[in-house]
């Protein structure tokens, strides 16, 4: 069974129709030829953008010459009210300084410390789901809850039941609903020409989230000063000095960074986990293999190395449904790509969505096959055509974190429950802030043997 893929639009449509399709969904607004193209040009009366869909072009932009292709300012337009000067939006020296402070908290060695809070969040998710067995569950809402719990526990050592965590979580939901597609701006004329594009409540919601996060970081600052702060990601980031200047983040900069950790860290993981569960619900053979592997989990951090099948399944979910389906960069000087002139200022679109399903690169590009990662084709593509976390120096800070969190939560849920689709039409992937199902993902969970399923 081929997992759901959005329909493509006809090759030629009017600009007006394209804009309309785009407003509905960035994925189905594209023609099918992009799954075979190495490069494509979007020409409109206002601007030009280029899709780069060939491994060596992607490598040039992300790995070889990232300084020449900064993040496009247009992306910030919708997100700045929430994210301020967060590492997700900055460029140049500011970005470099921010990464010098943030990266040590996410290094391999430190990640061991996040295992226990992730495990605890996984157990809580299983307990919540146990109350819902036997009737259809909209699983994206559940995975959002679980991923937000992981972020609160690892960053601030508080569970999602905490009053303030609850408030932030609910505000983020409102924000997500009011925010159109993250990278949409790259395809549109300057946003100032479209005053009604961003809804008014987006800004109000952003302000409420920032007020809550300001309070959380202020509290933590006081705990650090008093010597009573827990040793978690927030404390680590707030106390790490920039090795070059010796300065730590200012209070307002820390609010910006916390905001992006919540946003980038929970919506993405939640999306991938929901799709992974759907893929397992529709592929019982792989579900069985994940459940078998998960029986050996003990709760110790050494379990991390045991999650092999689960990891392959999670990677396959990231390939088929990359939570960040497209990224945008700007050409800071004129370029020539594939015999085409790319003017300075052009928007360059890198599309994990299309690259991960490229028909000239992948065997069985639209099929679900976690075993592919052990094949020659899978290994080559993993290196050259698999960028769910981006690549190069601007790669996702949380990539290592997410590759522990995702397989762990998947394993804990599948160890506890047998999962089947709820019936009805298959989910339709659409790009919101992340790749979601248009009408949710509905699954039915049945408890597996209780005695074996709990540690």
313 binds ligand HEM (CB under 6 A): no
One of 168, 281, 327, 431 touching ligand HEM (CB under 6 A) = 327
Report the 10 Å Cβ neighbour count for 174. 16
- 396 belongs to the binding site for ligand HEM (CB under 6 A): yes
Q: Does 323 bind ligand HEM (CB under 6 A)?
A: yes
Asked if residue 114 binds ligand HEM (CB under 6 A), the reply is no
Q: Is residue 441 a contact residue for ligand HEM (CB under 6 A)?
A: no
Cβ closest to ligand HEM, residue 229 vs residue 273 = 273
Residue 269 in contact with ligand HEM, rule: CB under 6 A: yes
Q: How far is residue 234's CA from residue 440's CA, in Å, rounded to a whole number? A: 32
Q: Which residue minimizes CB distance to ligand HEM?
A: 398
Among 390, 411, 437, 453, binds ligand HEM (CB under 6 A): 390
| Angstrom distance (rounded) from CA 39 to CA 51 | 5
Contacting range for ligand HEM; rule: CB under 6 A; set: 112-120, 247-255, 260-268, 441-449: 260-268
Phi, psi angle pair for 430, to nearest 5°:
-135, 155
Helix 399-416 to helix 108-130 angle (10° resolution) is: 30
In the sheet that 347-350 helps form, which strands lie side by side, from edge to edge?
39-43, 48-52, 347-350, 327-330
Binding-site residue total for ligand HEM (CB under 6 A)?
23
Smallest distance from the beta carbon of 437 to ligand HEM, in angstroms? 16
Among 18, 22, 50, 88, interactor with ligand HEM by CB under 6 A: 88
Q: Which is nearer to ligand HEM, 270 or 281 (CB)?
A: 270
Among residues 177, 184, 220, the alpha carbon closest in space to that of 199 is found at: 177
Nearer to ligand HEM, 58 or 229 (CB): 58
**How buried is 339 (Cβ within 10 angstroms: 0-12 exposed, 13-18 middle, 19+ buried)?**
exposed
Q: How many other C-beta atoms are found inside a 10 Å radius of the C-beta of residue 153?
A: 24
**Partners of 335 in the β-ladder:** 342
For residue 130 the two structure tokens come to: 């146990």
Among 6, 265, 325, 407, binds ligand HEM (CB under 6 A): 265
How many CB atoms sit inside 10 A of residue 322's CB? 28
Please report how close the Cβ of residue 424 comes to ligand HEM at its closest, in angstroms: 26
Q: Where are the alpha helices (DSSP H) in 6-138?
A: 15-24, 55-59, 73-83, 92-106, 108-130
Query: Where along the sequence are the contacts to ligand HEM (CB under 6 A)?
Result: 87-88, 99, 260-261, 264-265, 268-269, 272, 323-324, 327, 388-390, 394, 396-398, 401-402, 406
């Amino acid at each position: 069974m081929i997992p759901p893929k959005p329909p493509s639009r006809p090759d030629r449509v009017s600009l007006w129709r394209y804009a309309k399709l785009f407003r509905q969904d960035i994925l189905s607004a594209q023609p099918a030829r992009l799954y075979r193209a190495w490069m494509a040009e979007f020409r409109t009366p206002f601007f030009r953008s280029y899709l780069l869909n060939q491994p060596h072009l992607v490598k040039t932009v992300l790995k070889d010459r990232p300084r020449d292709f900064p993040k496009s300012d247009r992306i910030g337009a919708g997100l700045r009210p929430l994210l301020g000067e967060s590492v997700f939006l900055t460029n140049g020296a500011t970005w470099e300084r921010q990464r010098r402070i943030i990266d040590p908290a996410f290094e391999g060695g430190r990640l061991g410390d996040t295992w226990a809070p992730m495990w605890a969040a996984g157990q809580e998710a299983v307990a919540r789901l146990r109350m819902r067995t036997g009737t259809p569950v909209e699983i994206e809402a559940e995975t959002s809850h679980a991923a937000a719990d992981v972020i609160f526990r690892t960053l601030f050592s508080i569970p999602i039941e905490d009053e303030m965590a609850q408030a932030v979580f609910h505000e983020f939901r409102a924000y997500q609903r009011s925010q159109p597609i993250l990278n949409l701006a790259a395809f549109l004329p300057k946003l100032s020409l479209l005053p009604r594009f961003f809804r008014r409540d987006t800004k109000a919601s952003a302000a409420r989230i920032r007020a809550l996060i300001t309070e959380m970081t202020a509290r933590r600052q006081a705990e650090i000063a008093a010597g009573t702060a827990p040793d978690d990601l927030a404390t680590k980031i707030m106390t790490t000095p920039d090795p070059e200047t010796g300065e730590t983040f200012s209070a307002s900069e820390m609010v910006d960074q916390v905001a992006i950790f919540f946003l980038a860290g929970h919506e993405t993981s939640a999306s991938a986990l929901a799709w992974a569960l759907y893929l397992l619900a529709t592929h019982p053979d792989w579900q069985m293999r994940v459940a078998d592997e998960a029986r050996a989990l003990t709760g110790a951090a050494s379990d991390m190395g045991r999650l092999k099948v689960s990891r392959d399944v999670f990677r396959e979910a990231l390939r088929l449904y990359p939570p960040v389906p497209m990224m945008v960069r700007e050409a800071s000087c004129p370029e020539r790509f594939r015999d085409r002139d790319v003017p300075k200022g052009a928007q360059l679109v890198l599309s994990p969505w299309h690259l991960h399903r490229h028909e000239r690169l992948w065997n069985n590009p639209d099929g679900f096959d976690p075993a592919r990662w052990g094949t020659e084709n899978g290994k080559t593509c993993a290196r050259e055509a698999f960028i769910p976390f981006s690549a190069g120096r601007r790669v996702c800070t949380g990539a290592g974190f997410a590759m522990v969190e995702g397989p762990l939560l998947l394993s804990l849920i599948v160890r506890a429950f047998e999962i089947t689709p709820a019936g009805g039409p298959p989910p339709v992937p659409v790009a919101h802030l992340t790749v979601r199902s248009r009408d949710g993902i509905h699954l039915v969970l049945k408890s597996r043997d209780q005695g074996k399923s709990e540690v």
